[in-house]
Amino acid sequence: MVDPIPDTGVPQDVAAAELALGLLEGEERGAALRRVLAEPGFAARVEWWRSRLAVLFDLWPEYAAPPHLAARIEASLDGPTTAKTSRFAWPALAAVTSAIAASLLLFVMVRPEPTVPVAQPVPVARASSVLVAMLGDAKSPVAAVYDPANGALRVAAGPGVPNARVAELWVIGGDGVPHSLGLLSGRPTSLAPKGVDRGRIAPGATLAISVEPLGGSPTGLPTGPVVATGVVARV
Amino acid sequence: MAFSNADAARAHLSEVLLRTGQEDREAFRELYSLTSAKLFGITHRICGNAQAAEDVLHEVYLTIWKRAGAWEPGRASPITWLATIARNRAIDWQRAQGVRRTSPLDDAPDIADPGEGAEAGMLASESSRELIECLDGLEPQQRDAIRTAFFDGVTYAELAVKRAVPLGTMKSWVRRGLARLKDCLDG
């Protein structure tokens, strides 16, 4: 193929595979994680690689765990760290990539925009900075990033919903009334809220996800269970 | 026959995992007995020592207990879901140590190289065979680097040290390998 591929010219699929395999670290990993959030197409490729590579688990040799471990684990199930925080059907993806989601927020907060390599740290708090909300609990958050500059609201893969249901995103601002921002899917979604709703996505406002019939709430207000909420903050 | 056995095993594991998601302790016990050797194989190889592998495995099963309700049949096979949690946890542990393990493990079982041909035919699923065959088609150093990244949970920098080549060379091997792998899987 191409002779030594420069770092900047890595094809999308190769970059997605690098992240899926866990080859990256430090800033390279941070850049790839930001890209997952920013580009639904890229996130889909990472997921594709993850599922393709997962067949290698078939080859992984078994190795018997020490006999005493089973009892030790079971004894700890009721420990303080095991409190069930949620009975909602979060997607498998969120469960297995919660560490990635957490790093994602960290990187989004540290570096609000994709940057070219520079020697100086990028200033974090600026008037034009993006707004972020983490919906749900710390274990399986759904990240939402709103860029007031272009009106784009990007949301990581939404929570899993039963068949014939859809996840709907709402903003609850100063009026205390939920206003629909659009429907989510199992993949990262980019929404473009209407003008009046844009103004509602402000620091302190609440974003919420409810489970609705296909096509979204028929009433204009949430009709199904609210499965995740988070507060909008400036980063 | 092998196919229906594998399907039956998968269906059973799915059912056990679903019941675990409903906080059924008996199901959790069965889940552990069905999967702990696989998951311990994963944490043991990546962590590189038995004590750490045990501690990580403990954490993995606590995570599974808490999150089993989040597993969705149809999105990922149950064993893939469980194995991914184990691999991710083990990698988190390994990287948190801040120590780069560059020598092979003494006591971890070897992972058979499907390049030798035997396993491909034994794998139950079509997609397993396809990936293995595509890996077989890569140059040896490309295949080795990709397999090592997966099974040892190592980064580019660690791979370069392990194979005693410059980082740029390692990236170049892996990227060409991944591009060829993609072409083969699409083909």
pLDDT digit string (tens) for A191-222? 988 878 888 888 778 888 888 888 888 777 78
Which of A12-26, B96-110, B151-165 is predicted with the least confidence, judged by mean pLDDT? B96-110
B184 touches A: beta carbon within 8 Å: no
CATH no., domain B1-97: 1.10.1740.10
ipTM associated with this complex: 0.86
State whether B159 and A23 contact (CB < 8 Å): yes
User: By the CB < 8 Å criterion, does B112 face chain A?
Assistant: yes
> Which tens digit of pLDDT belongs to each residue from A114-156?
334 444 444 333 334 677 888 876 566 788 888 888 888 988 8
Portion 170-199 of A in contact with B at CB < 8 A? 186
Give the whole-number percent of chain B exceeding pLDDT 70. Answer: 83
Residue B83 has pLDDT above 60, yes or no: yes
A125 touches chain B (CB under 8 A): no
Contacts 24+ apart (CB under 8 A), A73-82: A73/B32, A73/B57, A73/B58, A73/B61, A73/B62, A74/B25, A74/B28, A74/B29, A76/B58, A76/B62, A77/B25, A77/B28, A77/B62, A77/B65, A81/B62, A82/B62, A82/B65, A82/B66
At A116, list the tokens: 């070219």
CATH of domain B110-187: 1.10.10.10
CATH 1.10.1740.10 spans which residues of chain B?
Answer: 1-97
- The full DSSP string for A97-126 is THHHHHHHHHHHHH-SS-----SSPPPS--
